[in-house]
Structures are given as C-alpha cells and as structure tokens.
Structure 1
Amino acid sequence: MRMPGAGRAAGAVRAVPARPAAVRRRLGALWSWTRRTLRTRRGQRRAVQTLMLGCVLTLLPSTWMHAAAAGRVGDVAGAPKTPVAVVFGAGLWKGEPSPYLAHRLDSAAELYRSGQVEVLLVTGDNSRVEYDEPDAMRRYLTEHGVPDRRIVSDYAGFDTWDSCVRAKKIFGVDRAVLISQGFHIRRAVALCEKAGIDSYGVGVAEPHDATWYFGGVRELLASGKGASDAMLGRDPKFLGEREDGVRKALAGPR
C-alpha cells in the first residue's frame, strides 16, 4: 500500500540517470588525472601520506580497545568469580546456535557448573519473529545442564555496544565475565568498561579457519563503529524500562 505523500510531487523534475558513456568518460578522466598525479614526486608523496593516514585512522579504534582490555582477557580457568556472565549472540543456523555461538555457550555452561558465575545473561537479536537468538541460546544452555531460572534473556542486543549499555542500564549489571571469540572479546571488554561494567573477557579458542580470519578483518570496521558509539554515548536502539531479571535470578536458589 502506498503511504500518503509517497508519490512524486506534481511538476517535479524526473531525474535522468547518467548514461553509461558519460560515466565511462568521467571514470576515464579520473584515472588519467590519478596517473598524471602519481608521476610527480609531490603526487607520490601525497599518495603515501594519504595511505598512511588512512591506515592510522583505521587501526586507531582497535588499538584503543586492545589497550582498554589489557590484563582483562583470559580463558575459562582464569576467569574471576563473578555474579554474572554475559554471552553475546553470534548467529543462528536453522534456528539453532551457530558453531561459534555454541562454543561461547559451552564456555558459559562450564563457568556456571564450576561455580565461577551464578547467572548467565544471554544477549542477542530478536528483531524478527522468525529469528530469536536469546531463546535459542537459553534452550542450548538448559540442554547442557544450566537451570532455566539462572538464565536471563536480553532480546535487544543488536550489537556489542547495545548489549553492554543494556546490561548496565536495564539489567543492573555492575561486574561481569564476558564470553566471546578471541577476535571480538577485547572490543566487548572495552565497550562494557566504557558502559560502566567492571569486565573480564573469556576469549573462546577457535581454529584459525576462513571464518576466524573473516571475523578478524570485520573487527577493524566494527571497532570504528564501536569506538564512535562509546565516545558519543549513543543510546541503544531499544532501551525501555529497567528489568529485575538478573536480581531475581541471583536471589533465587542455584
């Protein structure tokens, strides 16, 4: 159904798309200018300076996050005893946790069984009815021995910053163990620290396959967005009223 005001206004000039020949001419002119510029020593120097500046700006957010997480990342055995563990979503395959997400949940269940954490906060995407990360995570954990009453779900953890801010502002988490893969865990720790959560990250070990390398490259872009969100104090997509699920779970029987 067409929304009111969606039609083209009367008398508006219809945009004429650029013709392929015109586009080719413009690209050719740009390429010729670039070649002429790079033939000169001054042009080459500027190109190198621009490239170096781009590299610095790309790596700066990731460098900040590694520095912020220094001394706060380890494995399951080294995790401090903490009331809450936060498990970040990592995608579903046919409604079930992806292998990477399953490995995060395995580590969370291990932390619970060993008594290092008391409550698991699972945070993920439920923006569509047919896609529900938190419930899939809860189901996996209960099948692996974690009581349902010790699991709390955050259905609006659309990205790492949203999950960290909501853990603090909505669920009242002040200290937490964070669980994710090694290429992501430092960003998670840095952002949760910025959100006001005293954090320790458990980096889940994975084989260095194509997925792992893709995740590492993706982190360069995600780090820039995360750093921007943290510096600007962006509110999550959904915030809402404070929930007492974590408090009730901690107060209940183990």
Structure 2
Amino acid sequence: MLKFLFQKRTVQVLCLLLAWFVIHVLLVSLDGFQDDLQKVDVGVVLGNKVELDGTPSERLRYRLEKAAQLYQEGYFPYILVSGGIGMEGFDEAEVMKGFLVHKGIPSDRIITDNRGVNTRMTALNSRKILGDRGLESVMVITQFYHISRTKLAFAQAGFDPVYSAHAEYLEWRDLYSLFREFFAYYQYLLKQ
C-alpha cells in the first residue's frame, strides 16, 4: 500500500512539473512573439555566434536586420550591440557593428559592448554604458524564446519598463532553446 501511494504521489508530482513546463513554454512563446514596440533611447541587440568567416550567424543576422528596420522606422536613435569574444575568435560586438554600418546605420549611432558574454552581463553593462550617456529607455532585440529572460535581466539591472522585439527567424534548434530557457529563466529569477 505504501509503495502504491509513493508511486501515485510521484506521478502527480511529475504531472505537475510537466504542466508547469508546458505553461511556462507557452507564456514565453506568447511574450516572445508579441513585440512590444515603443519609442525608446536605445535598441539593444544581444550577441550570438559569428561564423568562422567572420560573418554573423543567421540567428544573429536576423536580430541585426530587425534592429536596422526598427532604427529606420524611428523607434530608437541608438543601437547598442552586445557580445563577447566567441569560440571562433571574433569580437561579436564589432562584427555586429560592421554589419549594421554596412546596412546604412551611421557608425556614431552604434554603441558597442564587447563584454556582454551572457544575458545578465549585457543587462548590467547596458545599465552602466547607457547611464553614463544619459540614456534610459531600452528595447531588447533577440530570439523569441529569449525575450522573457532578457526582459527579466534588464528589469533586474534597473530598466523599467523593458520593451522588446523578436528576430523573425525560426529553426528546429528553437525547441531545444525553449527547453533550456525554462531552467535559465528560473536561475535568473532566483539569483538576483
């Protein structure tokens, strides 16, 4: 009897955890696909992989294209590009800046952060860099599954509110990323 109760309780706990995961993934997806566009001081583009030939990965390219589009539409006068030195040996922020300049964004309108090695560092660095320039409001630009955690990190860094736009690029890898984001989100939520 005790074994049966333990098994029943285990199944109930597993079902609850699965429901929590599914609801979280749905909410993250809804948040990520629903752009929250407002005029702000700066559009912040989070870094991603640079290819071995020094060009932005497709994921990163779509983030940059979205930022260029929103800049051209007048949503923000500055773009902050944030990333670190990737395994490929390239400074993501410099590659991102070069891409945007090639797309017609004036160089003096692009701010670089080459110490944005993760989402939290990008948020903290943005707070310092933008604060030093008297810039306050931000719109974060990244993949849809990354929006909720990015907004959380920026809110924890002192930005309020945090607007967002997603890169219009989907791939099968997003399923893995949604799974990973579940754990990463709560890690950020619990570790302020």
Q: Larger relative CO (CA 8 A, sep 6+): 1 or 2?
A: 2
Inter-partner Cα distance in structure 2 for 1:122 and 1:167: 10
Q: Counterpart in 1 of 2:127?
A: 168
Contact 2:50 2:88 in 1 (8 A): no
Cα gap change, 1:52/1:174 in structure 2, threshold over 3 Å: closer, same or farther?
farther
Q: Counterpart in 2 of 1:250?
A: none
In the alignment of these two chains, the number of paired residues is 185
Q: Counterpart in 1 of 2:162?
A: 199
Bigger drift between 39-48 and 94-103 goes to 39-48
TM-superposition CA deviations, 1:183-220 (whole Å, max 9, x none) = 1112211221222112101022223x312222222211
Question: Of 93, 116, 123, which residue of structure 1 is paired with 2:51?
Answer: 93
Is 1:46–2:5 an aligned residue pair?
no
Inter-partner Cα distance in structure 1 for 2:86 and 2:59: 21
Q: CA deviation at 1:171?
A: 3.0
Inter-partner Cα distance in structure 2 for 1:187 and 1:210: 20
Is 1:185–2:143 an aligned residue pair?
no
Which amino acid is the alignment partner of residue 107 of structure 1?
A: K
Cα gap change, 1:91/1:115 in structure 2, threshold over 3 Å: closer, same or farther?
same
Inter-partner Cα distance in structure 2 for 1:156 and 1:127: 11
Inter-partner Cα distance in structure 2 for 1:174 and 1:218: 30
Which amino acid is the alignment partner of residue 187 of structure 2?
A: K
Contact 1:82 1:177 in 2 (8 A): yes
Inter-partner Cα distance in structure 2 for 1:190 and 1:107: 21
Which amino acid is the alignment partner of residue 145 of structure 2?
A: F
Give the secondary-structure state (helix, strand or coil) at the position aligned to 1:86: strand
Bigger drift between 104-113 and 187-196 goes to 187-196
Q: Which runs of 5+ in 2 are unaligned?
A: none
Give the secondary-structure state (helix, strand or coil) at the position aligned to 2:186: helix
Inter-partner Cα distance in structure 2 for 1:212 and 1:42: 38
Question: Of 73, 77, 88, which residue of structure 2 is paired with 1:114?
Answer: 73
Normalised to the residue count of structure 1, the TM-score between the two structures is: 0.63
Cα gap change, 1:214/1:167 in structure 2, threshold over 3 Å: closer, same or farther?
same
Q: Counterpart in 2 of 1:124?
A: 83
Inter-partner Cα distance in structure 2 for 1:99 and 1:127: 15
TM-superposition CA deviations, 1:33-75 (whole Å, max 9, x none) = xxxx9x9312312322442465477679x58x85xx96x9744
Inter-partner Cα distance in structure 2 for 1:144 and 1:218: 32
Inter-partner Cα distance in structure 2 for 1:145 and 1:219: 33
Structure with a larger share of its residues in helix: 2
Inter-partner Cα distance in structure 1 for 2:87 and 2:173: 25
Is 1:226–2:188 an aligned residue pair?
yes
Normalised to the residue count of structure 2, the TM-score between the two structures is: 0.82
Rg (Cα) greater in structure: 1
Contact 2:139 2:162 in 1 (8 A): yes
Inter-partner Cα distance in structure 1 for 2:151 and 2:168: 17
Inter-partner Cα distance in structure 2 for 1:124 and 1:59: 30
Contact 2:41 2:138 in 1 (8 A): yes
Q: Which runs of 5+ in 1 are unaligned?
A: 1-36, 234-254
Contact 2:130 2:136 in 1 (8 A): no
Identity of matched residues, %: 28
Give the secondary-structure state (helix, strand or coil) at the position aligned to 2:41: strand
